[in-house]
Structure 1
Amino acid sequence: MSAQDRINAYWAGRAPSYDEYQQRPDRFAADQQAWSAIWEQALPPAPLDVLDVGTGTGQAATVLAGLGHRVTGIDLADGMLERAREHAAAIANGPVIRHGDAVHPDFPAASFDAVTSRYLMWTLREPEVAVANWVRLLRRGGTVAVVDSTWFPHGLDNAPENMSAHYDTQVQAVLPLATATSIDQTVAVLEKAGLREVTVTPLTSIYELDRRFGVAPNHDLQMQFLITGQR
């Protein structure tokens, strides 16, 4: 089993509990409002053709579609795709959800105005290859916009559920950002891909929601960041 297969297996199995946490009724409306504002800031006005890579349960993809963008979401974990398709079908003009590899998205060059991801960079193999491929998919003036944090700067020993069983030494060896200690390491990947005007925005609204409602199990209260760059 390859490292990517092990990652896929983990997230396919984790999909139900992960999705339930994302859909928590006490926080859902506040999250939707906050993330809508974040993605609206990150991208030019709708409608754009947007590719959401590593879409997971489709949280970002559905928010982006709700802003009026034409969204395609791709992922490799079947359990996540199942949940994403359910959410996409529940809204008007929902995203198209497809099986696809974030590192090597199978689309023609210049197919999109923006490529987005949320909570992907830390678990992305070959991130430099991936971002270079995302840039290839962008039209001139297009945007790469990613959200992430330094989730496990002290290692994965205290990671959620059975993550450490899947994210073993073989997997961690191909994930250079998994235990990043600074968001600057993610910034450097975007800059190396040749993106211009790379900017980092602390997501204080999400930090405040985490402080108010609590964070996911085995996570610490920490700042998340929006990183954007232009082709």
Structure 2
Amino acid sequence: MTTTDQALTVQDRIDRYWSDRAASYDDHQRRPDRLPLNDAAWEDVWAEALPPAPATVLDVGTGSGYVAFRLAALGHDVTATDRAAGMLERARQHAGDGTRVPRFRHGDAVAPDFNDGAFDAVVNRYVMWTLRDPVTALANWRRLLRPGGTLALVDSTWFPDGLDADTTDDFVRWYDDEVRSALPLAPSRSIGDTADVVAAAGFRGVTVTPLTRILELDREYGAAPGHEVRLQFLVRASA
């Protein structure tokens, strides 16, 4: 890591990594051989997790917008945020001139800048493991939800052997020792760690559902380059 890199905050370094990865990450998400099956499977996941459409939904850490577009396709009114400029650029490119598309905004997943009670649901996918402060994030998400609002997040135990398992140059550069030490959920061996944090933040009725259909697709088509196939989970709760 250069001296210039070291001057960046932990979150800035995380943002740089994901911004640099935006093109390859998005291309993998939208592989044409898998895309129709992927869209159908994920729309079923979110349809079962969220209130009936149209609901006002905030997708924090949206990346290139894959989840946000699936939610919009289900009829929801979607706002989506991310701090990685490269990811947001990709998401906005996909928005095009559609009649029902998410609103994409630059924003911090840990401290989203919206009014209290502004949303029926807050969602995210593959965000919890890389949050620098999940306790604060969850408290803020709960504040944004209307009474009885829904939290629905998807994640897995991506690094049960520690983040040192990823030795790719970009990951090592940006996810340095300081960043790794700031991510409490990254080395979790059980999705129960995430569910426990959700409950501790005051959410009720926390449930954990294994996403076996997504696992089957990953086994058939392969995980992202450099990643192992792992069972993913939907964690759902109410404010």
- Alignment of 1:108 with 2:91, yes or no, is no
- Aligned counterpart for 1:21 among listed residues 25, 28, 37: 28
Cα distance in 1 for partners of 2:95, 2:166 equals 29
Which 4+ runs in 1 deviate beyond 4 A?
none
Cα distance in 1 for partners of 2:197, 2:99 equals 35
Question: Which digits, 9 at most, give the CA deviation of each residue in 1:46-72, with x for residues without a partner?
Answer: 000000000000010000000000000
Question: Which digits, 9 at most, give the CA deviation of each residue in 1:143-197, with x for residues without a partner?
Answer: 0100000001112233274212211111011110111111001001110111110
Paired residue for 1:183?
191
Cα distance in 1 for partners of 2:148, 2:174 equals 38
- Alignment of 1:198 with 2:211, yes or no, is no
1:61–1:71 Cα contact (<8 Å) kept: yes
Paired residue for 1:164?
172
TM-score normalised to the size of structure 1? 0.98
Paired residue for 2:104?
97
Alignment RMSD (CA, Å): 1.0
Question: Which digits, 9 at most, give the CA deviation of each residue in 1:16-71, with x for residues without a partner?
Answer: 00011001000000000000000001001100000000000001000000000000
Paired residue for 2:5?
none
Aligned pairs (5 A) from 1:79-90: 79-89=86-96
Is there any run of 5+ residues in structure 1 with no aligned partner, and where? none
Paired residue for 1:124?
131
Letter in 1 for 2:139: A
Cα distance in 2 for partners of 1:129, 1:91 equals 35
- Aligned counterpart for 1:6 among listed residues 8, 13, 16: 13
Cα distance in 1 for partners of 2:58, 2:220 equals 31
Letter in 2 for 1:215: A
Paired residue for 2:62?
55
TM-score normalised to the size of structure 2? 0.95
Is there any run of 5+ residues in structure 2 with no aligned partner, and where? 1-7
Cα distance in 1 for partners of 2:197, 2:228 equals 25
2:81–2:106 Cα contact (<8 Å) kept: yes
| Number of residue-to-residue matches in the alignment | 231
Paired residue for 2:3?
none
Q: Which secondary structure does the structure 2 equivalent of 1:71 belong to?
A: strand
Cα distance in 1 for partners of 2:209, 2:97 equals 31
Go from structure 1 to structure 2 and tell me whether the alpha carbon gap of 1:139 and 1:125 turns closer, same or farther (over 3 Å shift).
same
Letter in 2 for 1:42: A
% same residue: 56
1:160–1:218 Cα contact (<8 Å) kept: no
Go from structure 1 to structure 2 and tell me whether the alpha carbon gap of 1:160 and 1:89 turns closer, same or farther (over 3 Å shift).
farther
Displacement of 1:88 in angstroms is 2.3
Letter in 1 for 2:134: P
2:163–2:180 Cα contact (<8 Å) kept: no
1:158–1:218 Cα contact (<8 Å) kept: no
